[in-house]
């Protein structure tokens, strides 16, 4: 029976194309968890099995896989490196007890490396590094290692270094034990110590010794007395340093040949915390409680991944969901390895499992034993910042898009869909253009719905700037009763509220009181469409001051029509203007990008209100900017900052648009109307 202390939950993170998926494939292969080494190019890896991942050759979804080694179970969670899929990373971080940051020996520290470090730091999780692709041309372990030290400080400590024969990695040196190892027929064996490497080994060992010395006064005394640490002392010091964050061990290897893979696994077993020692400790003796951290939805139904936080989970258990207040029966429970599910009878505390067919449970929910009062914190996802209108290629496909996106939202809680009643567009908001493109591909492959995207229409407003008094007269004679309504209305701007203010100042009964509501109703219907470009009119006051009526031919409908005629005539004379929405923008960027960001903001007609340093070489820029200029900002900011920047944009108020913008919008609206006709 698996024990909680023999479990390691590790989230594998890093920049796109740093070698994460291939590393996980290697760990499975060398432990005989798979019978062949899958390749991304062939679409045969365990973790990237989704059709979109195979097509694009990138990870889109996070994939937890069990790796068994030396009596321990490592739940290795492979996560996407592309920032559009940050939500997938956050799901796994919620249940991970440590993070393994992968970086290429050629590319070194990249933006994804920095983001992974920051995310693990925010959650106070232990950090490990793995320098991958040592066999690649121009790969340089020592250069990448020094980059890590420079970027993240002296906590970055080497535990191994590669043995090279030209460009090929042939083995690995264990820095603590000062032994050389190689892979032979799927097993590790010790080999003679190579020539010419002692200088580098001594340099790396000195760095490690210094960090170990910092973990206790006893070790510090020994270090200053010039004594070397024993193997047991190194291990004890590293364990302590990993827990406190003062030591972040560095491993390396070549995943394709398997060199370094077993050393990495043993390192994670030795130094990563078990769920009992983790930042968020589990409780094996408590009542059953689990956290659902990921959902997969396909044509066969729904699959929910969970981590057992308290007690244990057995098949056929019934647990309650405190959010939905529903009971859920866990009929069949599984361990999952890519596409392969293995049914189990029990998942122990601290372990990861999956269950099918939960009806009322979503990603981030708690399931618990009745009466336990257990409830775990959910998952905080980033706000989607890239919005486009999504529409069907074929007419009448809106309902299929909407129902397809509802299904996709079960496994991807990050994107948002909104039906904008004003612009009559379905707005899809995501973390970026790749995220949106993947959702569209899934709509096509899973729901046979082809879509296209366009920039969302901007909800402008119209307003008048001067007071006018106009007549609206509706007179129609056609056998029998005619139609007669006659009003004089004063239109003027007001700043009390956006909605229309209707008043009357009629003297002498020129318009009977029973027709006042019809006049008001006619005007309220009209203000939804301005006279410039058909946008709603705001800040308008209309006062009925005079008119006339006919005892037989006047009616509510006639006065309603007269009011609309007055509206059209009056607003055209009242110096109407177009108002544009202004957003409050907060951008967080590296200090070095400040010039580019300010220049770009000026091009977008933005006003910078302030700049505040927020630490770590980052600045927050506060600005106000027209919303119409921000459709592509998510992509442009990523390009300007190489993915380091982030922003939030919220509607603030309406302001009068410049004359050239007004002319352009009016012309576009006219053209749109002609096309629709």
**What pLDDT shows up at residue 382?**
92
Instruction: Please classify residue 447 by burial: count the beta carbons closer than 10 Å to its beta carbon, then call 0-12 exposed, 13-18 middle and 19+ buried.
Output: middle
645 and 539 in a common domain: no
Torsions phi, psi for 354 (to 5 deg): -145, 155
pLDDT band at 573 (very low <50, low <70, confident <90, very high): very high
pLDDT at site 196:
86
| Rg over CA atoms, the chain | 33
Residue 227 DSSP label: P
473 and 611 within one domain: no
In angstroms, the Cα distances linking 402 to 99, 399, 417, 440, 631 are 37, 5, 8, 12, 22
Question: What integer is the mean pLDDT of 53-79?
Answer: 95
- 423 and 546 in a single domain? The answer is no
Question: Does a structural domain hold residue 344?
Answer: yes
Last residue in a domain, options 525, 541, 575: 575
Does residue 237 sit in the same domain as residue 293?
no
Percent of the chain scoring above 90 in pLDDT: 87
Residue 185: which pLDDT band, with cuts at 50, 70 and 90? low
Buried b / exposed e over 58-81, threshold 16 CB at 10 Å, is bbbbbbbbbbebeebbbbbbbbbb
Q: Is 378 inside any structural domain?
A: no
> Do residue 61 and residue 139 come from a single domain?
yes
CATH number at residue 436: 3.30.70.870
- Closest listed residue to residue 290, CA positions, set 272, 314, 273, 274: 314
- Tell me whether residue 340 is in a domain: yes
Listed residues 575, 606, 636: the one ending a domain: 575
The CATH number of the domain holding residue 293 is: 2.40.30.10
Spatial CB neighbours of 206, under 8 Å, sequence gap ≥ 6: none
Residues 6+ apart with CB under 8 A from 490: 467, 468, 469, 542, 543, 545
- Per-residue pLDDT band for 481 (boundaries 50, 70, 90) equals confident
Q: Same domain for 236 and 300?
A: no
The pLDDT of 375-380, averaged and rounded, is: 96
**Residue 278 domain flag:** no
Whether residues 480 and 541 share a domain: the answer is yes
Q: Biggest alpha carbon distance in the chain?
A: 117
Range of the domain at 428: 387-403+414-454
- Band of pLDDT at residue 479, cut at 50, 70 and 90: low
How open is the CA angle 621-625-626, to the nearest 5 degrees?
165
Number of domains the chain contains: 5
Q: Is the pLDDT of residue 677 over 60?
A: no
Q: How much is the pLDDT for 615?
A: 83
Please say if the pLDDT value at position 153 is more than 80. Answer: yes
Which structure tokens are listed for 158? 């080497």
At 563, which CATH number? 3.30.230.10
Per DSSP, the three-state class of 44 is coil
Threshold 0.75, pTM exceeds: yes
Does residue 674 have a pLDDT over 80?
no
CA 611 to CA 371: how far, in whole Å? 51
Single residue among 242, 271, 300 that ends a domain in this structure: 271
Residues 97 and 198 in one domain: yes
User: What's the pLDDT at 675?
Assistant: 61
**What is the predicted pLDDT for the residue at 195?**
87
């Amino acid at each position: 029976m698996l024990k909680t202390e023999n479990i390691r939950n590790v989230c594998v993170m890093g920049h796109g194309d740093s070698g994460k998926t291939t590393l996980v494939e290697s760990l499975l292969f060398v432990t005989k968890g798979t019978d062949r080494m899958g390749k991304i190019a062939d679409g045969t890896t365990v973790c990237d099995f989704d059709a979109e991942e195979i097509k694009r050759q990138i990870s889109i979804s996070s994939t937890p896989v069990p790796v068994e080694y030396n009596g321990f179970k490592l739940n290795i969670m492979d996560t996407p490196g592309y920032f559009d899929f940050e939500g997938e990373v956050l799901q796994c971080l919620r249940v991970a007890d440590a993070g393994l940051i992968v970086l290429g020996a050629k590319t070194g520290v990249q933006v994804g490396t920095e983001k992974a470090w920051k995310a693990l730091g925010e959650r106070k999780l232990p950090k490990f590094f793995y320098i991958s692709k040592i066999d690649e041309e121009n790969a340089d372990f020592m250069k990448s290692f020094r980059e890590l030290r420079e970027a993240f400080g002296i906590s970055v400590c080497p535990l191994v270094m590669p043995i090279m024969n030209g460009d090929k990695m042939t083995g690995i040196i264990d820095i603590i034990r000062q032994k050389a190892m190689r892979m032979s027929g799927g097993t590790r064996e010790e080999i003679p110590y190579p020539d010419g490497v002692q200088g580098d080994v001594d340099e790396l060992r000195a760095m490690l010794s210094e960090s170990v010395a910092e973990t206790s006064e006893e070790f510090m005394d020994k270090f200053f007395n010039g004594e070397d640490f024993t193997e047991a002392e190194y291990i004890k010091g590293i364990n302590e340093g990993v827990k406190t964050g003062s030591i972040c061990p560095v491993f390396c290897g070549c995943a394709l040949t398997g060199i370094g893979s077993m050393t990495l696994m043993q390192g994670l077993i030795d130094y990563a915390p078990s769920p009992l020692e983790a930042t968020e400790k589990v409780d094996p003796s408590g009542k059953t409680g689990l956290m659902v951290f990921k959902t997969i939805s396909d044509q066969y139904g729904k699959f929910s991944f969970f981590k057992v936080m308290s007690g244990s989970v057995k098949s056929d258990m019934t647990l309650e969901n405190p959010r939905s207040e529903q009971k859920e029966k866990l009929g069949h429970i599984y361990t999952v390895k890519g596409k392969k599910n293995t049914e189990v009878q029990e998942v122990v505390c601290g372990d990861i499992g999956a269950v099918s067919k939960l009806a009322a449970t979503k990603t981030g929910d708690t399931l618990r034993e009745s009466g336990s009062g257990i409830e775990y914190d959910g998952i905080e996802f980033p706000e989607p910042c890239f919005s486009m209108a999504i529409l069907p290629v074929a007419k009448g496909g809106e309902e299929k898009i909407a129902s397809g996106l509802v299904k996709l939202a079960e496994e991807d809680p990050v994107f948002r869909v909104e039906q904008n009643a004003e612009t009559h567009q379905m707005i899809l908001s995501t973390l970026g253009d790749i995220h949106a493109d993947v959702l569209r591909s899934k709509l096509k492959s899973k729901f046979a719905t082809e879509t296209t995207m366009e920039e969302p229409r901007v909800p402008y407003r119209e307003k008048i700037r001067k007071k006018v008094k106009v007549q609206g007269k509706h007179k129609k004679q056609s056998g029998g009763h005619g139609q007669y309504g006659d009003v004089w209305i004063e239109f003027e701007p007001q700043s009390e509220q956006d909605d229309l203010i209707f008043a009357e100042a009629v003297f002498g009964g020129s318009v009977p009181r029973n027709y006042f509501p019809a006049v008001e109703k006619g005007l309220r219907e009209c203000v939804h469409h301005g006279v410039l470009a058909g946008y709603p009119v705001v800040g308008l006051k209309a006062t009925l001051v005079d008119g006339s009526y006919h005892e037989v031919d006047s009616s509510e409908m006639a006065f309603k029509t007269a009011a609309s005629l007055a509206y059209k005539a009056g607003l055209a004379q009242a110096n109407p203007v177009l108002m544009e929405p202004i957003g409050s923008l907060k951008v967080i960027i590296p200090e070095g990008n400040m010039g580019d960001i300010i220049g770009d903001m000026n091009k977008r007609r933005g006003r910078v209100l302030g700049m505040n340093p927020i630490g770590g070489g980052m600045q927050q820029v506060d600005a106000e900017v027209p919303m119409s200029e921000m459709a592509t900002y998510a992509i442009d900011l990523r390009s300007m900052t190489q993915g380091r920047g982030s922003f939030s944009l919220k509607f603030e108020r309406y302001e009068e648009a410049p004359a050239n913008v007004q002319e352009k919008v009016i012309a576009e609206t006219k053209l749109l109307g002609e096309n629709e006709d």
